Chain A
Amino acid sequence: MPTTDLSNPSAATRRSPSGEADAPNHPLIEIERLSLCYGQMRALQNITLNIPERLVTAFIGPSGCGKSTLLRCLNRLNDLVENARIEGTVRIGGCDIYGPGVDVIELRKRVGMVFQKANPFPKSIYENVAYGLRLRGMRARGIVDEIVERSLRSAALWDEVKDRLHASALGLSGGQQQRLCIARAIATRPEILLMDEPASALDPVATSKIEDLILALKQEFTLVMVTHNMQQAARISDYTAFLNQGELIEFNTTSQLFTNPSRRQTEDYVTGRFG
């Protein structure tokens, strides 16, 4: 990272909030006039949004509204898409992550992600969690063991897998796989954790475990999650952004947005008239 410094975000997070949306205190992520096109198709239009530190922010909206795309802008995973073009800025802790000279690898080490579909590697449970540590050159057996255990405990999976840490991760159930992916993401202590519909493929029991987990993780991480389940957003998020057709319609505290939405579209959506 020659030109930018991601390692000292504390000064930037204290800056006064800006943007049209009802700005929360201490924004960690500042999205400003962000647009994204896939070829000719405009997926995001002019989005301005500040995401607060150590709280849960949910993106809701109908399918194809761009909420996942927006989430993937935050760790630059959209870079993989060949014809994606991005305008506007995304600042994390004051640093423009699309600026020149930004080390994307370093960025992703600090912005972890959990995907809609659990994607454990075809390795052992232990190796899945240790993967990020190994990438950082961590080899000492004792330390890795300890972090793996702590991460699995944080992900509420330890008790279920402690006797078969070296069995294949693909033998776990869907819910367990998703919690394993969360453990993998938090093992490297990112500051921000992105979650793309982490419970959409799970049954109610597994979902409630994931939700409890999210509430617990809030103590340490800044969480940004995409969900199509409005009850879920209402239950666990502090702030909610409502997107429709690539535009940010409304951003507010969750209680405000659900009980007293300022826009008609939002009201229609949260009351279930469309979407």
Chain B
Amino acid sequence: MSDADSVTTPPSPPPAKPPWHDLARGRVARPGEWLVEKGIFAVSLTAIVMILLIFVFVGREALPILLGQADSAAARVQRILPPEDVDRMTPSELRAALGLSRRKFAARSLEEQKAALKEIYAVRAEADRNGAEAIPDKDSEVNTVGWRYLIRPHQWTGYSRPEFIWQPVSQIQKFNVVPLLVGSLKVTLVAVLFALPLALGAALYVSQFASRRLRAWIKPAIEMLAGIPSVVLGFFALFVLAAALESVFAFQSRLNAFVAGIALGVAIIPVIFALAEEALSAVPRGYLEGALAVGASRWQAAWGVALPAAWPGVFAAVVLGFGRALGETMIVLMASGNAAILSWSLFDSSRTVTATIAAELGEVVFGGHHYRVLFLLGTLVLAVSFVANLVADGVMNRLRRRLASSS
């Protein structure tokens, strides 16, 4: 009996330990760490939130045009009421007709407001009488921000045939975006075609041929190109490159899509290089050794085995480079000549979508039609760059996984 006692109740109880159910304290155990972790998580989310917000806010401004609700013709025809009708207006109608906020409306008496509105109508009537003497323009009936006029040619008054015209500052604003899209496309294509062979050649050399010491020099040097401010590159293009190319090709216009494209190409070389080099370096060493072991030269191994294996990466690099070139603004603003004319010739001055936004957005009427069209263009550039980034990222990820599994 005493034996059993000594087992169940030990003579001297050990110092009190915390009971086991204390383990289930959850996040309360380390509140500081928990808080920090959630904090960093929130920070990492900001990028996603930012992209979302940009999409929402840029897109929102363009929405009336996207939905076809904006009508420039309606805005041009102004309402005029006789003074008796103004006298009969309720205060809320009066406020709406004047377009005032409640506070500003309340700042003066009702009578004063009615007098102001009558004054406005009198001025408008006067303006209409003067305008009637001018040549009547059939285009004043046109809703120039309708889709048809944004993307299809139209024979404007004074033109001999239907044309694509971007002329946002004029009596009748003309918002045809095709010249800008063509301008962007031209410059971007020149940039990609110029940058691709150079960047790919450099990537091939650095990943397949260069000794380690040489690679340690070349790679940062090319990547440093990405750090040059685009305004500096634009400046360089404007003075040095344009003059040099003009003396070679004898352009009509000194600043043109070709000059801007070459300068832009310099700017996207590091982008294409970085991705292509990564893809080529990820090609398993076994491929190279296997090729050399059957008697391939270094060049044959690089060109015939490494490059095909890394091909999706090169594709991704081009797509990303294209996206960057399309979104780049400063260089094209400075070097493309900025003439919003529709021309497929590389040697004509041209104007890109981004340059247009940069040059004009500062001077538009807030909330006006011009403003909304510029935001529409912005949304377009944003969407295309976003898709390009997405595609490049997806392709690279698949390639990384594939090469990793076979190395």
Task: Please report A residues at the B interface, Cβ cutoff 8 Å.
Answer: 75, 77, 80, 82, 105-106, 108-109, 112-113, 115, 117, 119-123, 131-132, 134-136, 170, 181, 184-185, 187-188
Does A121 lie within 8 Å of B294, measured CB to CB?
Answer: no
Does A121 lie within 8 Å of B284, measured CB to CB?
Answer: no
Given the interface pairs A115-B290, A121-B287, A121-B309, the reply to whether A109 lies near B212 with Cβ below 8 Å is no
Does A122 lie within 8 Å of B293, measured CB to CB?
Answer: no
Does A80 lie within 8 Å of B292, measured CB to CB?
Answer: yes
Q: Which residues of A contact B290 (CB under 8 A)?
A: 115, 119-121, 181, 184
Does B291 lie within 8 Å of A109, measured CB to CB?
Answer: no
Q: Which residues of B contact A131 (CB under 8 A)?
A: 291, 294, 296, 304-305
12 A-B residue contacts at CB 8 Å? A77-B289, A80-B292, A106-B295, A108-B292, A115-B286, A115-B290, A121-B287, A121-B290, A122-B406, A134-B304, A181-B290, A184-B294
A7 vs chain B, min Cβ distance (A): 14
**Chain B positions 267 through 278: 1 when the CB is less than 8 Å from some CB of chain A, otherwise 0:** 000000000000
Bound form: Cα–Cα A136–B296 in Å: 9
Bound form: Cα–Cα A134–B291 in Å: 12
B268 vs chain A, min Cβ distance (A): 28
A270 vs chain B, min Cβ distance (A): 30
Q: Which residues of A contact B300 (CB under 8 A)?
A: 135
Q: Which residues of A contact B90 (CB under 8 A)?
A: none
B315 vs chain A, min Cβ distance (A): 15
Bound form: Cα–Cα A255–B274 in Å: 56
Given the interface pairs A82-B212, A170-B406, the reply to whether A188 lies near B295 with Cβ below 8 Å is yes
Does B305 lie within 8 Å of A135, measured CB to CB?
Answer: no
Does B308 lie within 8 Å of A105, measured CB to CB?
Answer: no
Does A112 lie within 8 Å of B293, measured CB to CB?
Answer: yes
Q: Which of B211, B284, B287 contacts A82 (CB 8 A)?
A: B211
Does B294 lie within 8 Å of A185, measured CB to CB?
Answer: yes
Q: Which residues of B contact A181 (CB under 8 A)?
A: 290
Q: Which of A105, A115, A170 contacts B296 (CB 8 A)?
A: A105
Looking at chain B, what size class is its interface with the partner chain?
20 to 34
Q: Which residues of A contact B287 (CB under 8 A)?
A: 119, 121-122
Task: Please report B residues at the A interface, Cβ cutoff 8 Å.
Answer: 211-212, 284, 286-297, 300, 304-305, 308-309, 406
Bound form: Cα–Cα A181–B291 in Å: 11
Bound form: Cα–Cα A23–B287 in Å: 36
Give the most central of B211, B212, B295, B297: most A CB within 10 Å: B295
Does B294 lie within 8 Å of A132, measured CB to CB?
Answer: yes
Residue of A nearest to B293 (CB): A113
Bound form: Cα–Cα A123–B309 in Å: 9
Does B295 lie within 8 Å of A77, measured CB to CB?
Answer: no
Bound form: Cα–Cα A82–B213 in Å: 10
Q: Which residues of B contact A132 (CB under 8 A)?
A: 294-295
Q: Which of B286, B288, B293 contacts A75 (CB 8 A)?
A: B293
Bound form: Cα–Cα A113–B300 in Å: 17
Give the most central of B211, B290, B293: most A CB within 10 Å: B293
Residue of A nearest to B306 (CB): A121
Give the most central of B212, B292, B297: most A CB within 10 Å: B292
Q: Which residues of B contact A121 (CB under 8 A)?
A: 287, 290-291, 305, 309
Q: Which of A106, A108, A119 contacts B284 (CB 8 A)?
A: A119
Q: Which residues of A contact B309 (CB under 8 A)?
A: 121-122
Residue of B nearest to A131 (CB): B294
Does B295 lie within 8 Å of A135, measured CB to CB?
Answer: yes
Bound form: Cα–Cα A221–B292 in Å: 19
Bound form: Cα–Cα A262–B286 in Å: 38
Shortest beta-carbon contacts, A-B, top 5? A119-B286, A109-B295, A132-B294, A113-B293, A119-B290
B14 vs chain A, min Cβ distance (A): 50
Residue of B nearest to A128 (CB): B290
Does B296 lie within 8 Å of A135, measured CB to CB?
Answer: yes
Bound form: Cα–Cα A115–B290 in Å: 8
Given A132-B294, A135-B300, A188-B294, 7 other A-B residues pairs in contact with their CB atoms under 8 A: A108-B292, A115-B289, A115-B290, A122-B406, A132-B295, A170-B406, A188-B295
Bound form: Cα–Cα A219–B290 in Å: 24
Q: Which residues of A contact B293 (CB under 8 A)?
A: 75, 77, 108, 112-113, 115, 185
Residue of A nearest to B305 (CB): A121
Bound form: Cα–Cα A93–B286 in Å: 28
Give the most central of A113, A119, A131: most B CB within 10 Å: A119
Residue of A nearest to B309 (CB): A122
Bound form: Cα–Cα A131–B12 in Å: 83
Q: Which of B284, B288, B294, B297 contacts A112 (CB 8 A)?
A: B294
Bound form: Cα–Cα A106–B292 in Å: 10
Bound form: Cα–Cα A117–B294 in Å: 16
A167 vs chain B, min Cβ distance (A): 16
Does B289 lie within 8 Å of A80, measured CB to CB?
Answer: yes
Q: Which residues of B contact A112 (CB under 8 A)?
A: 293-294
Q: Which residues of B contact A117 (CB under 8 A)?
A: 286
B148 vs chain A, min Cβ distance (A): 50
Q: Which residues of A contact B406 (CB under 8 A)?
A: 122, 170
Residue of A nearest to B290 (CB): A119
Given the interface pairs A115-B289, A117-B286, A121-B287, the reply to whether A105 lies near B295 with Cβ below 8 Å is yes
Bound form: Cα–Cα A116–B287 in Å: 13
A174 vs chain B, min Cβ distance (A): 11
Bound form: Cα–Cα A187–B293 in Å: 12
Q: Which residues of B contact A135 (CB under 8 A)?
A: 294-296, 300, 304
B286 vs chain A, min Cβ distance (A): 3
Q: Which residues of A contact B294 (CB under 8 A)?
A: 108-109, 112, 131-132, 135, 184-185, 187-188
B307 vs chain A, min Cβ distance (A): 11
Bound form: Cα–Cα A91–B73 in Å: 91
Q: Which residues of B contact A82 (CB under 8 A)?
A: 211-212
Given the interface pairs A122-B309, A122-B406, A123-B308, the reply to whether A108 lies near B295 with Cβ below 8 Å is yes
Bound form: Cα–Cα A203–B292 in Å: 27
